[in-house]
Amino acid sequence: MNIKETFETSEKTYKKVNMCPGHGMGGRHPSRKGLDQLSGHDDPGMFGRMFPGLSALDVPDNKLQALAEAMLDPDPTDSSLDNPGIPGGYTYFGQFVDHDITLDLSSLSDKKRDPLGLENFRTPALDLDNVYGLGPDGSPHLYARNPADPSQRGPKLVIGRNINVDFGGITGDFANDLPRSPEGVALIGDPRNDENLLVAQTHLAFLKFHNAVCDKLQSEGVAAEQLLTEARKTVTYHYQWMVLHDWMERLCGEGATDRILNDGRQYYRFKKTPYMPVEFSVAAYRLGHSMVRQRYSHNRIFADTGFDLLFAFSGLSGDIIGNLAPQPPTGPTPVSVLPSNWIIDWRRFHDLDRPSSMPFNPSRKLDPLLVEELHNLPGGGGNLAFRNLKRGVSLGLPSGQDVAREMGVANALNADEIATGPDGEEAKRQGLHESTPLWYYILKEAQVKEAGDRLGPVGAAIVSEVFVGLIHGDQQSFLWQEGKDWKPSLPAATPGTFTMADMLRFIGDINPLGD
C-alpha cells in the first residue's frame, strides 16, 4: 500500500491511537479525603472547595452510566449544533489554558511530604509556566542559544523544524513544529500540550508569539540583558488579558470581567493565595468536552479529518518518535517530527480573513452532548462523559441545584428544564433531574438558558470568578502590577484589545502552506 492509499484508509489505520495518554494526569490531583479536611475560605493549599458547606451528591455508577450514554451528539454534521460565536480554535486554547493552571513542578518527594499542597508549592496561575518552564537556568532546553555567544542561552524559545513527505506536494523549509528530543518527545514546559495536534500547534503559536515580541522589543532598543524579562512580561500580560476579555467573555458573556473587577468575587474567595476549586476543575471547566467537533478542516490538504489523525501526529499520544522512525518515512506514521503537510491553517480555526468558500471550524454548542469519539476513547479509555460524572461524585461535588441555591440564582434551572431532550429524559428516568451532577447541570443550564451559545448563571459565575481570582491572586499579573485599567499595547484590529486572532496576525504565520 502506498502513502496515498494509506491516508485514504486512515479511519481504519489509526483506530488504536491513544487519544488521552495522560489527559488530566499532569501534576497532583485532589482526593476526597484531602478535600474533606478543609473548611471555609482560608488558603487551603493546592486544592479546595468554593462551597465547602454543601453536601456531596452521591449517585451510583449505574445511574451515571445511563446518563453518560444518553449524552451523545445525535448528528456531528448538524450545523444547528455549531456555535459560531466561539471558533473551534478556542476549544484547544481552552485546553492550553487548563494545562497552564494545572502544571505542578514540585518534586515527588515534596508531594509525599505534603500531599495536600498546603505549603511550599506553586499555586495555580495564568503565568505561562507551561511555555517558559523554570527559565533559562532551570529549563535550558526550552531556550535557543545566543547567536552572539553560543555558550549562553538567548532570550528566544526553541522552535522545531518539519520534514517534507510526498503526500500533498509540500516543499520548502518550515519551522512549524514543537522542538523535540531525538526520540520525538516535545521539549516544552508541559508535555500534555503534545497530546493532540491542535493543542500542539496552539502551544507552538505561543512560542512564536514570544519570539516575535522579542524581535519587536529589540527593534525598539530594549537592552539585550532585559529582553527575556520584558518579552515574557509583555506576552504574559497580553495572554492574561486574552483569557479575561476574549476567552472568558465568549464563555460567560460580554462585560463579565468588568463586573467582577468592579463588584468583587462572591464565591471564589481566599485570603492571599489562590487555590484550584474542584467545582471549577472537575465540573465547570470541563465544558470544553462539549465543544469538541467530530471532524476538522485542518488545512488545504487535510480539509476533512478526524480525531485519529489529529492524535496520531503528536509525540505524546501518537507516532512522532524521532530517530526511531524510518528515514525516509514508509507510511503516514511513524515519523521523526511533524510533516509539513500537517501545519495548521489558522484561518479555519479563528476569526481571520479567509475566502468565503473555505471550510471553517466553529466549536460545538455548550450543551450536554459529546461527539461519539469521546464516548468510546481508544486504548480502553472508556466513556469520557461517565468519567467526568464519576469524578465529580468521587470528589464529593454538590448537586447543581444546591450550588444554584447557595448562589441565590434567580430563575434557576428547574427539574422540567433538565428533563428536556433525550439526555434529559434519561436524567429523569434515573432520578437525576431534581438532584443533578454539577458538570451535567452546568452544560444543561447553558443549553436551556443560553441556547448553548455561552454558559448559564451557575457555570458563568464559577468560571469567571476563578479566572479573575487566579490572575488577581498572582502578584506578578497585570492586575497587580498595572491595575485593572491596563490595556494591551500590541497591534490589534481594535486598538486597546487583544484576541487570539490578533496574536496570530502579530506572529505573521497564519497559513504557512499558502493557498
Query: What does the pLDDT read at residue 119?
Result: 46
Per-residue pLDDT, averaged over 354-366, amounts to 97
Per-residue pLDDT, averaged over 51-77, amounts to 97
What one-letter code names the amino acid at 511? N
Residues of the chain with pLDDT > 90: what percent? 81
Query: What does the pLDDT read at residue 47?
Result: 84
> What is the CA angle 76-302-251, rounded to 5?
45
User: Which residue is associated with the grid cell 512549524?
Assistant: 176
Judge whether 454 and 460 are in contact, CB under 8 Å.
yes
CA distance 310 to 318: 9
User: Which residue is associated with the grid cell 479511519?
Assistant: 11
- The reported pTM is 0.91
Residues of the chain with pLDDT > 70: what percent? 87
Judge whether 445 and 455 are in contact, CB under 8 Å.
yes
- Categorize the per-residue pLDDT at 272 as very low, low, confident or very high, splitting at 50, 70 and 90: confident
Judge whether 489 and 241 are in contact, CB under 8 Å.
no
List 145's β-bridge partners, or say none: 153
- Categorize the per-residue pLDDT at 151 as very low, low, confident or very high, splitting at 50, 70 and 90: confident
Mean pLDDT of the chain: 90
Cα–Cα distance list, 261 to 140, 252, 465, 486 (Å): 37, 14, 9, 12
- CA 509 from centre of chain: 21
Query: What does the pLDDT read at residue 2?
Result: 39
What one-letter code names the amino acid at 378? P
Judge whether 73 and 372 are in contact, CB under 8 Å.
yes
- Categorize the per-residue pLDDT at 37 as very low, low, confident or very high, splitting at 50, 70 and 90: low
Query: What does the pLDDT read at residue 435?
Result: 98
Q: Is 218 exposed, middle or buried (0-12, 13-18, 19+ CB in 10 A)?
A: middle
Residue 268 confidence (pLDDT) above 80: yes
Alpha-carbon torsion angle 372, 375, 377, 381, nearest 10: 180
Judge whether 397 and 438 are in contact, CB under 8 Å.
yes
Render pLDDT for 401-426 as a digit per residue (tens, 0 to 9). 999 999 999 999 999 999 999 999 99
Query: What does the pLDDT read at residue 103?
Result: 67
| Beta strand ranges found along 199-356 (DSSP E) | 276-277, 295-296, 305-306
What one-letter code names the amino acid at 160? G
Decide: helix, strand or coil at residue 72: strand
Query: What does the pLDDT read at residue 9?
Result: 38
Render pLDDT for 319-353 as a digit per residue (tens, 0 to 9). 999 999 999 999 999 999 999 999 999 999 999 99
- Categorize the per-residue pLDDT at 24 as very low, low, confident or very high, splitting at 50, 70 and 90: very low
CA distance 289 to 244: 20
Decide: helix, strand or coil at residue 506: helix
Judge whether 489 and 495 are in contact, CB under 8 Å.
no
